[in-house]
Structure 1
Amino acid sequence: MKALILNCTLKPSPAASNTEALALEVIAELQRLGVTTNLIRVADHPIITGIKSDLGGGDAWPMILQELLAAEILIIATPTWMGTMSSEALKVLERINGLYPARGELGRPLTFNKVAGFVVTGAEDGARHVVTEIAGALMDVGFTIAPQCYTYWNNGPGPGDNYLESDYRKEWSITTGKAAAANMVAVATALKNTPIPGR
């Protein structure tokens, strides 16, 4: 089983990413469960804004899309900015939406029988809203949303330290991330054994 993790931080490498730090906890649990993982920092790649799967002219999305289609699990990891997902996460959702017309052998969208999960960080609240937005977008194009398939961390109301600077309630975020990994693997395994039928 394979999992693709898209880190939608606004910071290109090698800058430290709070979102990546929490995502690595989920990745470690996925690997412990036997899943092959691939972490991509979206900001490191020239992804053209648009809604088609290939926009040519140096567009990096087709390469990432190949990884997505080869994986049973997709995890969107994003910071919270102004109460919502990052612009990189929104760009990813717009490009994934370009897959909707494509159909597999059973006549279903190519994203059917794939499981989605989420990692969200932010110095202030808004994480659950972000999860709801992304889950709705991915469910709309065919992804299955497993029970409790996300973890998040925030510093509470008002400005404060970031994830990498704080020890505030990190244990909860890490424990919840491990549970999310197990739930995603369980649902992905079930779908592999009993796929959603064709039309």
Structure 2
Amino acid sequence: MRALVLNCTLKPSPEPSNTERLAEVVSRALWERSVEVTTLRLADLRIPPGIATDMGGDDQWPEVHERLVASRILVVATPTWLGHPSSIAQRMLERMEGMMGETDDERRPVAFNRVAGVVVTGNEDGAHHVISEVAGGLIDIGYTVPGQAWTYWNRGPGPGPSYTETDEGHEWSASTGRAMAANLHAVARALIANPIGPPPS
């Protein structure tokens, strides 16, 4: 089984990413379940705006799309900015809209029978709002989002240290991340055994 982690930090490599650090907790828990995990930092790629799978030119989204289709598990990791997902996370969802018109050999939307979860970090509050925005978009696209398929670390109202600058709250975020991985893996296996069929005509 394959999993894809899309890190929607605004920071290009090699800058340290708080969001990536928390996402790694989920990745390790998936690896422990024999899931092959790939992480992409979208800030490192050329992804122009649009809602098509391939915008032409030097668009690198088709490479991401190929990995999405090949993965049973998707983890979207995003920082919180002004109480919302990052602009890169929003662009990711807009580009994923192209998947809504794609079907597999059995006429099912290509995202059917795939599961998704959300990782959020930020030294401000708003994690549940960010989770609901990202998860809602993924559900529209066709992903199954299991119960408690998220983890987050937020400092709380007002400015403060970032995830890697303090140990506060890490234990809870990590245990919730491990539970997230377990739930994603369990539901992915269930959908392999009992897949969702094509929508009624």
Bin for the TM-score computed over the shorter chain: over 0.9
Equivalent pair of 2:109/2:198 in contact (CA under 8 Å): no
Deviation at 1:157, TM superposition (A): 1.5
Give the residue type in structure 2 aligned to 1:154: N
Partner of 1:114: 114
RMSD (Å) for aligned C-alpha atoms: 0.6
CA distance in 2, matches of 1:40, 1:96: 15
Would you say how many aligned residue pairs link Structure 1 and Structure 2? 199
Q: Which runs of 4+ in 1 moved over 3 A?
A: none
Identity %: 52
Q: Secondary structure at the match of 2:53?
A: coil
In the alignment, what sits opposite 1:38? 38
What does residue 172 of structure 1 align with? 172
Shift of 1:141: 1.3
Distance in structure 2 (CA, Å) of the matches to 1:104 and 1:122: 37
| Paired letter, 1:170 | H
Which residue of the partner structure matches residue 86 of structure 1? Answer: 86
Determine the C-alpha separation between the residues in 2 that align with 1:152 and 1:143: 20
Structure 2 residues not aligned, in runs of 5+ = none
5+ unaligned residues in a row in structure 1: which ranges? none
Q: What is the TM-score when the length of structure 2 is the normalising length?
A: 0.98
* Alpha-carbon displacement from aligned partner over 1:64-89 (angstroms, at most 9, x marks no partner): 11001000001100000010000000
SS state of the match for residue 58, structure 1?
Answer: coil
Does 2:152 correspond to 1:152?
Answer: yes
Partner in structure 2 of residue 125 of structure 1 = 125
Q: Which residue of the partner structure matches residue 77 of structure 2?
A: 77
Answer whether contact 2:42 2:88 (CA < 8 A) is retained.
Answer: yes
Taking structure 1 as the reference length, the TM-score comes to 0.99
Aligned-pair CA distance for 1:108? 1.5
2 CA distance for matches of 1:107 and 1:141? Answer: 15
Mapped to 2, the partners of 1:193 and 1:171 lie a distance apart of: 33
